[in-house]
Structure 1
Amino acid sequence: MASSPVPGSVRGQSRTQLLSPQTEIQSLLKAGIKLFRDNEDLRALAAFKKAFLLSSRLPEPPHTQATCLFNLGAAYIATGKPKKGLKCTRKAKKMGAAVEKDGDFSFNIAAAYDNLREYAKAAEFYGKAVHEYEAGETPNAADALVKLAYCLASTGDSASAAGSFRLAGWAYREAQQPEDAAMAMREAANYFLRSPKYHPEDVLEALQVCSQLCMGITNLELLGKLHNHLGLHYAELKHFGQAEMHFAEALKLCSGENFTLRKGAVLLQNLGAIYNARGEPQQALKYHSQAADSYGALGERASQAQCLYNLASAHSQLGNVHRAQLYYQQALKAFVEAGDSYGEAQGCEGLGTAHLFMGHPDQATQYYKQALALFEKSKEAPDVPRERILEKLADIANYREAVPGRSSHTGGIADSGADLEEQRTEDNYMLAVGRPDLF
């Protein structure tokens, strides 16, 4: 939330108000700050509002009033009233409100623009806050860098967002906040990967630093989440050894209080997918089977479909064509029930390849055409599956022309094994990429 660091901006006012003779205002400010720290934002707002009303009646210079107005602005931002908060904060600055940290004004103005979804303006002021915080205020600068990064990401500048997250990670590390540092580095890797022209070494550096920081984290739930995310990112880079290591570490944490069936299912699915990708299908089978059973128990049909597809792919790699056909059929049925047209297309393609390998070109053609139609309808389908299926349909047509009168059920096409291998290399595993938040 954009307003989460605001209490830090408000916190410095208690020292100023200790010098004030107006005991009631001082008491209200202290109470408001405590309520803010306890996440009682609405009650804090009421306290600051009362303090401001009292201060506006004072005959002396407006310093006290400016301080109350600054805190009131912070409270408005925190309670979802950024326009009022922005107005109060700007007015407080003009009136000469004193704050303990120079970057607080810029941070609060940025937070207001952030809540208004004016991300370019918010980024400008978060950047100012980063430069205004002094050397001894590293955690505050790191908070501003994180906020800056998310605003940059919202403007579509993934590369700059990644750089800001990386700087935040180093700052948190310097401030000896390993949890925040690890999360910032994980986000740096994530946004480097989203950048159109990322450098693999930047991603790997962020992932390696995050991995090192994990050794100092005692929050097991967070640690499991980080290991899962690290595994996903290493898998994206096709560094399957590191991906396997992190998924396995996360799975070890799925015990006792940290265990949920869903967490275990996600990790089992990911480990199985990694073994598929590494060409170790025998190892993958048990993970896919357990993951499919777990998702079935949870009633998550779409996720179960992905695991059944993975199971079919593993059997394909082992040459168990009939078993592969069975699981592709089950996956297709589950994808249809879940309303996943892209998954349905993949299931049809898998069945087409299985039938082709068994020497059933008519059935293969039927499934390939069905897959092609589904891919054409799917907005998320890239061009590669379409091109691949069209090539396979052309191969079947060419074979029939070369061998006229060939029965559909009496033997295979000579290069069908190559077709099956091509499918494995193009799309042979389905990670739980879409659900990292579930862990």
Structure 2
Amino acid sequence: MFKKAYILADGVPEMQSQKMCLFNLGAAYIAMGKPKKGLKCLLKCKSKGAVEKDGDFYFNIAAAYDEMKEYSKAVKFYQRAINEYRPSETQSISDALIKLGYCSVNVGDLPSAARSFRLASHSYQKAEKTEDAAMAMREAASYMIRSQRFSKAEVLETLTECAQQCSGITNQDLLGKLYNHIGLHYAEMMCFHQAGKYFIKAMQICSGANFSVRKRAVLLQNLGAIYNALCQYENSLRYHGEAAHLYGALRERNAQGQSLCNLAYAYSQLKNYDMAEYYYQEALNAFVDVGDLYGQQQVCEGLGATSFCLGDLDQAISYYKQALTLFGKSKVLFVCTVCLVMHTEHRDFFLLSIRK
């Protein structure tokens, strides 16, 4: 229809109609995954004279380069679009900032991405788009942590803002996801009490009509991991056990293995080595079933230490040799790991998994 409109407009003396039809045709091509055709239309449109809405023009140029994976050029034109938009065009500015953020990620500029997402969040707030504001602020926190260029205080301030924005969200499914993500980021910052608080909030939402077995399993695993990190092993046992049971019902053997491994570690810290050995064996079976060499390596280390504590030195040596062999096969060594979803922190010897 836009193509037909442009052909008809070509016979009209009034240039603005031609430009409008050509602009819309270009935007339509980009939207349907034909960025080169779209870009050609937009540049032809510009060659016919000034475009009425330069902000939208540059946004579409950027979108075309974005679609073509020419992210450096896309960054340049998203920035131009943002500068061209009027301050009152908050929705357009917000959307461009989000696009700019992800293009910055693709060119490896994580600090700029974090700043773009943070600005987008503030812009969405002005537009009274609470859900979008909270999600953008969550992305800002994520890339602030990943870039390692921001202070702990700056990251925590961003997480606090994100949590405040969540108070205005009524979509329970989204709210549960955001609380879980906030908990993850607090865990990455080693703020385990705060992490536990938001995992519990998410757990409270994951009930009744909003109940999802897998979401509950993830939250149980996260809460158990937090109690392990806080050395509150008695409290962690129930969460690890229930998470392992739910993952088993879902036939997610790898996740079940992680929970069983966490459970075994908690028992080992309570000096209940017989139970620790039992659950490490169960975890090993799960990791063998899915071919997870890294998981098997971690469990063999746990079994080695447990056998040592039980006084069986020959068995301990055997398990440590198995761990070394598995290390050679997997080429991955995270000895004594606290495993978060996006980062790891080395600490004594246990696998503590925090999941999205």
| TM-score interval, normalised by the smaller of the two chains | over 0.9
How far residue 429 of structure 1 moved from its aligned partner, in angstroms, is: 1.6
1:76 is aligned to 29
Correspondent of 1:213 among 149, 165, 178: 165
Correspondent of 2:314 among 362, 372, 376: 362
Q: Report the TM-score when normalising by structure 2.
A: 0.94
1:246 pairs with 2:169: no
Paired amino acid for 1:430: S
Percent of pairs identical after alignment? 56
Correspondent of 1:154 among 106, 125, 128: 106
Paired amino acid for 1:291: A
1:282 pairs with 2:234: yes
How far residue 377 of structure 1 moved from its aligned partner, in angstroms, is: 3.0
1:267 pairs with 2:219: yes
1:427 pairs with 2:341: no
Paired amino acid for 2:42: T
1:296 is aligned to 248
Distance (Å, rounded) in 1 between the aligned partners of 2:232 and 2:347: 12
Q: What per-residue deviation string (whole Å, max 9, x for no partner) do you get for residues 176-234 of structure 1?
A: 21111111111011111111433212211111100000001111111001001011111
* 1:30-429 matched pairs, under 5 angstroms: 47-58=1-12, 60-96=13-49, 98-99=51-52, 101-382=53-334, 384-385=335-336, 425-429=348-352
Q: Are the aligned partners of 2:302 and 2:349 in contact in 1 as well (CA < 8 Å)?
A: no
State which structure, 1 or 2, has the greater radius of gyration over its C-alpha atoms. Answer: 1
Q: Report the TM-score when normalising by structure 1.
A: 0.77
Distance (Å, rounded) in 1 between the aligned partners of 2:236 and 2:115: 36
Q: Are the aligned partners of 1:63 and 1:97 in contact in 2 as well (CA < 8 Å)?
A: no
Distance (Å, rounded) in 1 between the aligned partners of 2:139 and 2:153: 15
Paired amino acid for 2:3: K
Distance (Å, rounded) in 1 between the aligned partners of 2:319 and 2:182: 36
With over 3 angstroms needed to count, the CA separation of the structure-2 counterparts of 1:289 and 1:182, relative to structure 1, is same
The runs of 4+ residues in structure 1 deviating greater than 4 Å are none
Q: What per-residue deviation string (whole Å, max 9, x for no partner) do you get for residues 74-131 of structure 1?
A: 11111000001111111112223644x4310110000000000000000010111111
Q: Are the aligned partners of 1:221 and 1:258 in contact in 2 as well (CA < 8 Å)?
A: yes
Distance (Å, rounded) in 2 between the aligned partners of 1:284 and 1:119: 45
Unaligned runs of 5+ in 2: 338-345
State the Cα RMSD in Å. 1.6
With over 3 angstroms needed to count, the CA separation of the structure-2 counterparts of 1:76 and 1:257, relative to structure 1, is farther
Q: Are the aligned partners of 1:165 and 1:188 in contact in 2 as well (CA < 8 Å)?
A: yes
Q: Are the aligned partners of 1:275 and 1:281 in contact in 2 as well (CA < 8 Å)?
A: yes
Distance (Å, rounded) in 2 between the aligned partners of 1:122 and 1:98: 19
With over 3 angstroms needed to count, the CA separation of the structure-2 counterparts of 1:257 and 1:94, relative to structure 1, is farther
How far residue 380 of structure 1 moved from its aligned partner, in angstroms, is: 4.3
Q: Are the aligned partners of 1:288 and 1:308 in contact in 2 as well (CA < 8 Å)?
A: yes
After the TM superposition, which of the residue ranges 189-198 and 313-322 deviates more from structure 2? Answer: 189-198
Q: What per-residue deviation string (whole Å, max 9, x for no partner) do you get for residues 270-323 of structure 1?
A: 111111111111111111111111111111110100010011011111111110
Q: Are the aligned partners of 2:243 and 2:259 in contact in 1 as well (CA < 8 Å)?
A: yes
Q: How many residues are paired up? A: 348
Q: Secondary structure at the match of 1:371?
A: helix
Unaligned runs of 5+ in 1: 1-46, 387-422
Q: Are the aligned partners of 2:94 and 2:120 in contact in 1 as well (CA < 8 Å)?
A: yes
Q: What per-residue deviation string (whole Å, max 9, x for no partner) do you get for residues 250-275 of structure 1?
A: 11111233221111111011111111
Distance (Å, rounded) in 1 between the aligned partners of 2:121 and 2:24: 29
